[in-house]
Chain A
Amino acid sequence: MSGLTKARRRGGGAGWLAAAPLLLVTLIAFGVPVVVLVFGAFSVKGGGLGFDNLSATMKQPYIGALWSSLKLSAVVALGGTVLGAFLAQAVLTSRSGLLREAVLTASGVLANFGGVPLAFIWIATLGNSGVVTAALGLGSGALYNFWGLALVYMYFSVPLMVLVIAPALDGLKPQWREAAQNNGASTWQFWRMVGIPVLGPSLLGGAVLLFGGAFAAYATAAAMVGASVPLVTLQIADALTGNVLIGYENIALALSLDMIVVALLVMAVYLPMQKRSSRWLA
């Protein structure tokens, strides 16, 4: 065996050694709980394995909650993607370095702002005794429904989209727009034939992140709507904390598995798209 191959072999071995702690911790801290979860989801009362729990989650009230979670996530993903992309483009083309810096920093903050504090801020604004509710004479319950929840979720989703899409928008070379113009294209034709296709993967990737964020969100919804908007995360928490009948823990596990399957499906779309985008904008 030549010295070079040997050296490469050794490098590979050392490489796996360097990654070993990460692999080990992931296996214990992530692998074990997930295996337990999947196993529990298939465990039926009285021992043995079966689909009892999973088929229970395909009935009311669980299927309704799952459906409503999917709808909410889709609305937030779509709205957040469109608004985030427009906002990012407006900021990046404004030629004001200060505005750009301010919006990107604020986006970094707001994209990480969620949970109960987010609910409180919106309750103060649009809740039943909120300032805007009173000023506009809106009735009670304006915030505590599906669309209210979507409005609040946008508060972290739009900034997240701005952060995701800004580098892609920066990667759109001015030459492309000029070359399109030079070939007789109007602004709209440029966006339709070049701009949006090039941004497509990034937009879709961002939309997937927004979808996942809204789908997984629990604390904000719990603090805001309680049980008035059925969501799968709320159902899981209820089953887990024994707010409902005891013995529903395996239902929580099965619902969790449902969520993971949805997320897996979404990821399966996202990852190949991500690859294509990085190749174009390199």
Chain B
Amino acid sequence: MAGVTWRRVTLGVAGVYFLVPLAISVWFTVYNETQGFSLGAYGRIVSAPGFTESLVKSLLLGAAVIVLVLLLALPALLAVRLGAPGLRPVLETITTLPLIVPPITYVVGIANALRGGTDALAATPFWQTLISIQDENFPVVLVLAYVMLALPFAYRSLDTGLRAVDVRTLVEAARNLGASWPYVLFRVILPNLRSAVASASFLSLALVMGEYTIAALMGYRTFPVWIVTISGNDGQLSVALSVLSLGLIWLLLLTLSGAGRKSK
């Protein structure tokens, strides 16, 4: 039947397009004509200078972004459902704005704001704050930027999750049974939102582990930036790093969706 044919063709073409580059890349990293099979390229990643440092830095940034995104978005989303529906259009707009400002333009704005701010505030105590949020080891300014970039996706994923839960009834039932507000939030709402929180966290972390433009242009050596600087002219190493970062995203997705599913 015609229906079967177009499906096969589509799946076949998609399979070739998506799998061939991956297969070639993996092959390329483990085989070359002089040495034959070798996992050397992957060994070189681990021993390359700055690997652990940049990876840990990015993971820490990621953790901070996740926490901050959840702390900012969840109370606002709950408020919308518990008596401040007027907030909704405001939140929708706020979480759409970052989609309109591409990272490269956003970083231009940040860099200019920081430079201007440093000049203007040179004589005040705020100057010290501005300097400290740009600390190379843990750049708070990067956390804030990533929170903004992650917000649209995290907000929508949490909003979808909340739609499946009758928040008002849950809260009223829990309050009626004598639960305090923190108890309601952490023991009643969050467990019901587990998979939405997991997917919001995944999206945030995947963004941090892949974002290059802002970090590179501001001069921070996060993991994605490190990948580019260390690759240099070592072709095998650079592809091995690409395979690794793809694997990393995959691992994150599996872990977090697994965490989201456990409760069901």
Residues of A within 8 A of B (CB): 8, 11-12, 14-19, 21-23, 25-26, 28-30, 32-34, 36-37, 40, 83, 86-87, 90-91, 93-94, 105-106, 108-110, 112-118, 120-126, 130-132, 154-155, 158, 212, 215-216, 218-219, 223, 233, 236-237, 240-241, 249, 252-253, 255-257, 259-260, 263-264, 267, 271
For A122, give the chain B residue with the smallest CB separation: B21
Tell me whether B112 is interfacial, beta carbon within 8 Å.
yes
Q: Known contacts being A15-B80, A112-B206, A124-B235, is A216 close to B104, with CB within 8 Å?
A: yes
Residues in chain B near residue A233, CB distance under 8 A: 102, 104, 213
Minimum C-beta distance from B139 to chain A (A): 13
Question: Which chain B residue shows the least CB distance to A216?
Answer: B102
Given A11-B83, A120-B239, A253-B108: 14 more A-B contacts, CB < 8 Å: A15-B83, A18-B76, A22-B76, A26-B148, A33-B113, A36-B109, A90-B6, A94-B11, A113-B210, A113-B246, A212-B99, A240-B107, A256-B104, A259-B104
Q: Are B241 and A117 in contact (CB under 8 A)?
A: yes
| Contact, CB under 8 Å: B105 / A236 | yes
Are A120 and B238 in contact, with the CB atoms below 8 A?
yes
Decide if B75 is an interface residue (CB 8 Å cutoff): yes
How many Å lie between the Cα of A268 and that of B84 in the bound state? 26
What's the least CB distance linking A39 to chain B, in Å?
9
Chain A residues with Cβ under 8 A from B228's Cβ?
116, 219, 223
B24-32, B47-55, B188-196: which lies at the interface: B24-32
Please tell me if B118 contacts chain A, counting CB pairs below 8 Å.
no
Interface size class on chain B is: 35 or more
Q: Which of B109, B246, B249 contacts A34 (CB 8 A)?
A: B109
Nearest-Cβ distance from residue A279 to partner chain B, whole angstroms: 14
What are 13 A-B pairs with beta-carbon distances under 8 A?
A14-B83, A18-B84, A22-B75, A25-B144, A87-B14, A90-B6, A105-B254, A218-B212, A233-B102, A233-B213, A237-B104, A253-B109, A260-B102
10 closest Cβ contacts across the A-B interface? Answer: A15-B84, A11-B83, A33-B109, A256-B105, A216-B102, A117-B242, A37-B109, A15-B79, A19-B76, A18-B79
A222 smallest CB distance to B (angstroms): 9
Tell which of B7, B87, B148, B239 touches A90, judged by Cβ atoms closer than 8 Å: B7
Q: Are A16 and B217 in contact (CB under 8 A)?
A: no
On whether the beta carbons of B111 and A131 are closer than 8 Å, the reply is no
Say what secondary structure dominates the interface of chain B: helix
A36-B109, A36-B116, A260-B101 known; A19+B91 contact, CB < 8 A: yes
With A15-B84, A21-B72, A115-B224 known as contacts, the answer to whether A30 contacts B148 (CB < 8 A) is yes
Q: Whole-angstrom distance from the CB of A136 to the nearest CB of chain B?
A: 12
Given A25-B144, A30-B97, A131-B28, A105 contacting B239 (CB threshold 8 A): no
* B10-27 contact mask (Cβ, 8 Å, vs A): 1 or 0: 110010011011101101
List B146-201 residues whose CB lies under 8 Å from chain A: 147-148, 151
Question: CA of A4 to CA of B20 in the docked complex: distance in angstroms?
Answer: 64
Query: Cβ of B20 and Cβ of A132 under 8 Å apart?
Result: yes
Give the docked Cα–Cα distance between A267 and B92 (Å).
Answer: 13
Name the distance in Å between A53's Cβ and chain B's nearest Cβ: 12
A15 CA to B99 CA, complexed, in Å: 25
Tell me the bound Cα distance from A82 to B63 in angstroms. Answer: 36
Residues of chain B contacted by A90 (CB below 8 angstroms) = 6-7, 10-11, 14
- Does A263 contact B101, Cβ atoms closer than 8 Å? yes
Q: A21 touching B71 by the CB < 8 A rule?
A: yes
Interface string of B228-262 (1 = CB under 8 A from A): 10010001001101110110011001100100000
A15 touches B82 (CB 8 A): yes
What secondary structure prevails in chain A residues at the interface with B? Answer: helix
- A17, chain B: closest CB distance, angstroms: 8
Q: Which residue of B lies closest to A167 (CB)?
A: B160
> Which residues on the A side are within 8 Å of B231 (C-beta)?
116, 120
Taking CB atoms, residues of chain B closer than 8 Å to A37 are 105, 108-109, 112
Nearest Cβ distance between residue A265 and chain B, in whole angstroms? 10
| CA distance in complex: A218, B25 (Å) | 22
Instruction: Determine the residue in chain A with the shortest Cβ distance to B243.
Output: A121
In contact, B103 and A216 (Cβ under 8 angstroms)? yes
A36 to B243, CA, bound (A): 39
B94 on the interface (CB 8 Å rule)?
yes
Closest to B206 in A: A112
Q: Which B residues are in CB contact (< 8 Å) with A263?
A: 99-102
**Other-chain contact of B210, A86, A112, A130, A154 (Cβ < 8 Å):** A112
Measured between C-beta atoms, what is the minimum distance from B158 to chain A in Å? 12
The minimal Cβ–Cβ distance linking A100 to chain B, given in whole angstroms, is: 12
Q: How far is the CA of A262 from the CA of B191 in the complex (A)?
A: 41
